[in-house]
Amino acid sequence: MKSQQTQTLGTTVLLVIVGIVALLSLNAFVIINPGEAGVISILGKARDGELLEGIHVKPPFVSRVDIYDLTVQKFEVPAQSSTRDLQDLTASFAINFRLDPTQVVNIRRTQGSLQNIVAKIIAPQTQESFKIAAARRTIEEAITKRDELKQDFDMALGGRLNKYGIIILDTSVVDLKFSPEFSHAVEEKQIAEQRAQRAVYVAQEAEQEAEATVNRSKGQAEAQRLLRETLTPELLQKQAIEKWDGKFPQVMGGNGALPFINLDTTKLQTK
């Protein structure tokens, strides 16, 4: 009886030991997947050296591993500012970024989670960068030169976030808004400019037409002058003879005029 109890106790102890060993084994390893990085904290203190993809050993029970996603993240961040001419301008930016894997330990120590990074770093720095970009131009320039506004914003934001281990890949202006009063003023200005351009075009067209008319008149006057110079009496007589049909006029009109001799032109032509 005692032998059976001893055997049962030994089996139980062995199972407990195997369970403890298995538990220790499971807690002594961590797997980091592609596109991730890990940070080991032992007794609440982050240890130097990031964990990249693969299997890593860690102290069981007294350590934990925080996993950070290194793939591209996208967040939409609102921003508001005043332009150089003190007009209100609001925008919404889509920020594409990823974490620098070599900086995840520092990120863990200073910011903690990805949510904290967005709320405490990216959002306020987006706001400040937009203020810098908007203050350099008037509201009209911000609208008509939108690409330049974005370039200034990207430069300011990239420089600010890089020191936090955040790499900006791309930004885009999702929405850019201004006051309805300014929108109406811009529309009226564009209409006025179009009318002014139309008036200039009409004036230029009238000037060109007047110049063409003058040139035609000069051409006609020159042609008449040349014609008068070439029409000599001899040439006029020659042209008259060439056009004569061989018939004499029967009577010369006018008071006291002598009648032409009535000649038989048929006989003249047959001789």
Q: Output the CA–CA distances (angstroms, integers) from residue 211 to 78, 84, 221, 225, in the order listed.
A: 59, 47, 15, 21
> Which residues, given as ranges, of the chain have pLDDT below 50?
256-271
d(C-alpha 23, C-alpha 150), whole Å: 54
Q: CB within 8 A of 191, min separation 6: which ones?
A: none
d(C-alpha 214, C-alpha 232), whole Å: 29
pTM of the model: 0.58
d(C-alpha 141, C-alpha 191), whole Å: 18
d(C-alpha 53, C-alpha 36), whole Å: 7
Q: Which of 172, 161, 33 is nearest to 94 (CA)?
A: 172
- Owner of token pair 């995840």: 104
d(C-alpha 189, C-alpha 192), whole Å: 5
Distance of CA 50 to the CA centre of its chain: 39
pLDDT in the model for residue 44: 85
Contact between 38 and 30 under an 8 Å Cβ cutoff? The reply is yes
What is the phi/psi pair of residue 75, to 5°?
Answer: -135, 145
Summarised one tens digit per residue, pLDDT across range 246-269 is 565 555 555 544 444 444 444 444
pLDDT in the model for residue 71: 94
pLDDT in the model for residue 95: 94
d(C-alpha 69, C-alpha 34), whole Å: 9
d(C-alpha 9, C-alpha 50), whole Å: 45
pLDDT in the model for residue 140: 81
pLDDT in the model for residue 218: 76
pLDDT in the model for residue 246: 59
Residue 37: helix, strand or coil by DSSP?
strand
pLDDT in the model for residue 171: 92
Q: Where are the domains of the chain?
A: 16-69, 73-178
What's at 147, amino acid-wise?
Answer: D
pLDDT in the model for residue 160: 92
Contact between 174 and 93 under an 8 Å Cβ cutoff? The reply is yes
Summarised one tens digit per residue, pLDDT across range 205-256 is 777 887 778 777 777 777 666 666 665 666 556 666 666 555 655 555 555 4
CATH 3.40.50.2000 for domain 73-178, yes or no, is no
